[in-house]
Structure 1
Amino acid sequence: MAMELDPPPLFLCPISMELMEEPVTVATGVTYDRWSIERWFFKYGKTTCPATMQRLSSFELTPNHTLKRVISSWMDRSSSSTSSSSCVLARERLPSVLAGIEETPFKVTALKNLKSCMADDEAARGDFVACGGIQVLGRVMTQALAESCAAGDFSAFQTCEEAAAVLATLPLSDDESVELLLNPECMRPVSVLVQRGSAEARLHAMSMISKISKASVRDWTLEVDVDDMVTALLELLSDGASAKLSSRALDVLLDVTAQSRGAGRARAVEMGAVRVLVEILPDADRHVAERALLLQKRMCKCPEGRLAFAEHALAVTAVARMMLRVSAVATRLAVNVLWLVACAAAPSERVLDDMAVSGAVAKLLTLLQVENSPSTKDKAAMMLRAHGAFWSQYPCFRTDLKDYLKFLN
């Protein structure tokens, strides 16, 4: 019958290399543990025992590989059982932990501990929702935000940020969780964090909004002040201080403009959305460029957006630069934007001038000759037919392109 091995001690006698229950201590009172002995041998280059000063022939602190494997397997087993028991304990104590968070004056520490317990434990996140954790943290955020506004208490606002960090760990993949988070006591603090939270808190808040929007239970914008949120998101994009923040801000703006049409998009234009989107295009990578162009397309579907686009000196140039350069999606979106300002309504002469000078017209002609989506080619052909005569009057307009325009018509 196999005998159960007791957990081996981690201290070795520096003379005999035998396992000891306690670290070696000599008469001087100096304690020699494994770390100290390793420093003695390998850092200072000593060849004698640090306890007795006898010369040693071997400096291998663990006598053989079998013992190494025994120690390693015991430590792995011990670590596994400890972490498993701590998780079970956390689940059993979760109701009392949630109750204590509302009462303790040390809410920030309690919330950080709760977040660390839930970070990699899917079951714990499910238990958190089942135990009413979203409602508890919603009340904590609302109270903390009220205290912060009333007394300017920074620690209270930090409590609100830490509560949002816990909620951001939730997958929010079920309708019940999303509905709970859509309550005003949760959504209003989340909206405030987007506007004036720390960089990390803003990421957590925008992550929650993106998850809620994907769930599509109902319109989340009804629970927040959309104008204030859009202003904050445009400021984040304009600052460009963090690529992550800018990317998240674009995602949330896409969600907002998808939910709100007409008047909502016109309000975004009034807040400077067209200007900000134009100015981030020159330095944008593919993912940012595609989302910025999609937002620009939505802005240009309303008259206010087309007017703001036409009045911006770099708008046509920035959009034309994305054609045939970034991706097929970016090309299609850029053509849609130009079509909206050139054909969906009577274009200003400035827009047509800018399209000729920026090379947009030449790219439209190129699009007709390369493989592309039928809708993109149709819009390119429509613009060329509608304004080809105007563009062909430019002295810089190539003769072969004039002939092609005649053929196209």
Structure 2
Amino acid sequence: MEMEEPPHLFLCPISMELMDDPVTVSTGVTYDRRSIEQWIFGCGRATCPATMQPLANIELTPNHTLKRVIDSWLDRGSPSTSASSSPSTSLLSSPAHDLAATPLSRMLEAERLRSALVGLEETPFKVTALKNMRARMRGDVAMQCEFVSSGGIQTVGRIMAQALAESGAGGDFSAFTACEEAAAVLALLPLADAASVGLVLAPDCIGPVMALLQRGSAEARLHAMDIVTKISSAGTGDGDWTACVEVDDVLKSLLELLSDEVSTRLRSRALDVLLDVIERSRVGPAKALEVGAMHVLVELLADADGRRDAERILLLLKRLCKCPEGRLAFAEHDLSVAAVAKTMLRMSELATQLAVKVLWLVSVVAPSEKVLEDMVLTGAVAKLLGLLHVETPPATKQRTVRMVRINGGYWRQYTCFPSDLRDYLRLLD
């Protein structure tokens, strides 16, 4: 019975023969001991034959896992006419989740992934290599864990940083494409533990991710947003991932994304992360205001039709208006009061409650004549009076009554203010 050709992974990169005693050198590549010893000691070379990288040392580490896999393959003696009885070469070229879930197939695929990572930084065909790696890992949690434990996040991070630098220096489009494809690989990972999140938050990794949020393709921006959302959800060991990044860069990236015409999915996730940054970071609110968050959020709210987006924008406005700079920025925007008033008694009960809190902060805590005037002209006062006639939470109703009583005298002076509402204001005095 004729044996089939051994999988390429079992062949020594030097002799291209089945390895009898596989050993791994400092670069991570595995060779047959006899061949690599001849290369190093017989020929006097101190480089890795496959990558031509200098060897940090000449220590040869036995690859027991691959040795067991080769022995198992030899014992099974898979005939060429029975492809289903063993992992054939064609199967080995398929993604891991297409293979039969056997220990042999899992070990083979894990070894293939480690080998691919070793050569990833040296290959000139990074985009293709990253696409293949992404296909191998998609939907396969075991391979994703193997990727992380084998230093995959660090490797991909270095590739992203290098690709971004090359694309910025010479406008190399292919380099930027490699950066985007690397982000697609990272986006597959769960990033549910502090260790993985910490690796992604390294400057080599998170810097390019932020750059992709700003100027990547539509798909790349989705992948970058997936990564940032997972980081935000997982946090770090101390619960504050924002301490590991430049908050300014994160906020600028998020606000630029929100300012563009983007997908609903991207906008929704960007709002979630923006909320998290402003809540976690001590300097978050001040930094957000410095980079124009109030203007962006008011413009978004003015055009918002969805309940969830409106609620999150109002929550952001409430948090920003708790500081003097936020209230000033709110008062200076011509659409701010109108945008908030539009959501009252229209979007949801939560949106109405948040809108009342925002108006309370800007008309009672630190009132300005412009805000009070805008509240009359945009119908916000009429809506506040309308709230007194409907079922609302006690705190909201109390805040509304106090707002009207405190500012009622000012609002009554406007001739455009309806006479019936003017009479109602007198009743509240």
Tell me if structure 1 keeps the 8 A contact 2:167–2:173.
yes
Hey, what does 2:161 align to over in structure 1? 142
Structure 1 stretch 395-404 or stretch 239-248: which is displaced more? 395-404
Aligned pairs for 1:25-40 (under 5 A) are: none
Query: How far 1:80 moved relative to its partner?
Result: 11
Aligned pairs for 1:191-206 (under 5 A) are: 191-206=210-225
Structure 1 stretch 393-402 or stretch 120-129: which is displaced more? 393-402
Cα deviation per residue 1:42-84 (whole Å; 9 max; x = unaligned)?
xxxxxxxxxxxxxxxxxxxxxxxxxxxxxxxx9xxx9999822
2:416 matched to 1:389?
A: no
Structure 1 stretch 118-127 or stretch 394-403: which is displaced more? 394-403
Query: How far 1:390 moved relative to its partner?
Result: 1.7
Tell me if structure 1 keeps the 8 A contact 2:360–2:399.
yes
RMSD: 2.6
Hey, what does 2:383 align to over in structure 1? 363
Please list every run of 5 or more consecutive structure 2 residues that lacks an aligned counterpart in the other structure. Answer: 1-83
Instruction: Tell me: CA distance 1:358–1:236, structure 2 relative to 1, closer, same or farther (3 Å).
Output: same
Query: How far 1:399 moved relative to its partner?
Result: 4.8
Hey, what does 1:68 align to over in structure 2? none
Hey, what does 2:369 align to over in structure 1? 349
Hey, what does 1:46 align to over in structure 2? none
Hey, what does 1:16 align to over in structure 2? none
For 1:295 and 1:235, the matched residues in 2 are separated by 16
Tell me if structure 2 keeps the 8 A contact 1:148–1:157.
yes
For 1:117, the aligned partner's letter is R
For 1:222 and 1:199, the matched residues in 2 are separated by 28
2:339 matched to 1:324?
A: no
For 1:203, the aligned partner's letter is L
2:126 matched to 1:111?
A: no
Tell me if structure 2 keeps the 8 A contact 1:195–1:228.
no
Tell me if structure 2 keeps the 8 A contact 1:234–1:276.
yes
User: Could you say which structure has the larger radius of gyration?
Assistant: 1
2:289 to 269, 273, 293: 269
For 1:395 and 1:330, the matched residues in 2 are separated by 30
Query: How far 1:149 moved relative to its partner?
Result: 3.0
For 1:221 and 1:195, the matched residues in 2 are separated by 18
Tell me if structure 2 keeps the 8 A contact 1:194–1:229.
no
Hey, what does 1:336 align to over in structure 2? 357
For 2:167 and 2:396, the matched residues in 1 are separated by 52
Cα deviation per residue 1:303-362 (whole Å; 9 max; x = unaligned)?
1221121121111011100001011121111111111101111x1112111111211112
Tell me if structure 1 keeps the 8 A contact 2:301–2:339.
yes
2:182 matched to 1:168?
A: no
Cα deviation per residue 1:349-399 (whole Å; 9 max; x = unaligned)?
121111112111121122223222222222212211211122233344445
For 1:353, the aligned partner's letter is E
For 2:299 and 2:165, the matched residues in 1 are separated by 37
2:157 matched to 1:157?
A: no
Tell me if structure 2 keeps the 8 A contact 1:195–1:229.
no
Hey, what does 2:99 align to over in structure 1? 84
Hey, what does 1:315 align to over in structure 2? 336
Cα deviation per residue 1:265-304 (whole Å; 9 max; x = unaligned)?
2332232221221112232121221121112112212212
Query: How far 1:255 moved relative to its partner?
Result: 2.4
Cα deviation per residue 1:207-227 (whole Å; 9 max; x = unaligned)?
211111111214333343332
For 1:153, the aligned partner's letter is D
Structure 1 stretch 306-315 or stretch 247-256: which is displaced more? 247-256
Instruction: Tell me: CA distance 1:96–1:204, structure 2 relative to 1, closer, same or farther (3 Å).
Output: same
Hey, what does 1:300 align to over in structure 2? 321
Hey, what does 1:214 align to over in structure 2? 233
For 2:109 and 2:170, the matched residues in 1 are separated by 34
Using structure 1 for the length normalisation, give the TM-score: 0.74
Instruction: Tell me: CA distance 1:239–1:142, structure 2 relative to 1, closer, same or farther (3 Å).
Output: closer
Hey, what does 2:310 align to over in structure 1? 289
For 1:322 and 1:80, the matched residues in 2 are separated by 57
Structure 1 stretch 353-362 or stretch 321-330: which is displaced more? 353-362
Tell me if structure 1 keeps the 8 A contact 2:213–2:221.
yes
Provide the secondary structure at the position in 1 that maps to 2:268.
Answer: helix
Aligned pairs for 1:226-237 (under 5 A) are: 226-237=247-258
Structure 1: 4+ residue segments shifted above 4 A? 78-82
For 1:267 and 1:179, the matched residues in 2 are separated by 23
Tell me if structure 1 keeps the 8 A contact 2:302–2:335.
no
Cα deviation per residue 1:227-259 (whole Å; 9 max; x = unaligned)?
233233323222224333322332232222123
Tell me if structure 2 keeps the 8 A contact 1:240–1:246.
no
Query: How far 1:166 moved relative to its partner?
Result: 0.6
2:120 to 101, 105, 112: 101
Provide the secondary structure at the position in 2 that maps to 1:257.
Answer: helix
Cα deviation per residue 1:146-198 (whole Å; 9 max; x = unaligned)?
33333332222211111111111111112222122222222222222222222
Hey, what does 1:48 align to over in structure 2? none
Structure 1 stretch 390-399 or stretch 295-304: which is displaced more? 390-399
For 1:106, the aligned partner's letter is F
What percent of counterpart residues are identical? 61
For 1:84, the aligned partner's letter is L
Provide the secondary structure at the position in 2 that maps to 1:317.
Answer: helix
2:269 to 248, 253, 261: 248
Tell me if structure 1 keeps the 8 A contact 2:255–2:296.
yes
Using structure 2 for the length normalisation, give the TM-score: 0.71
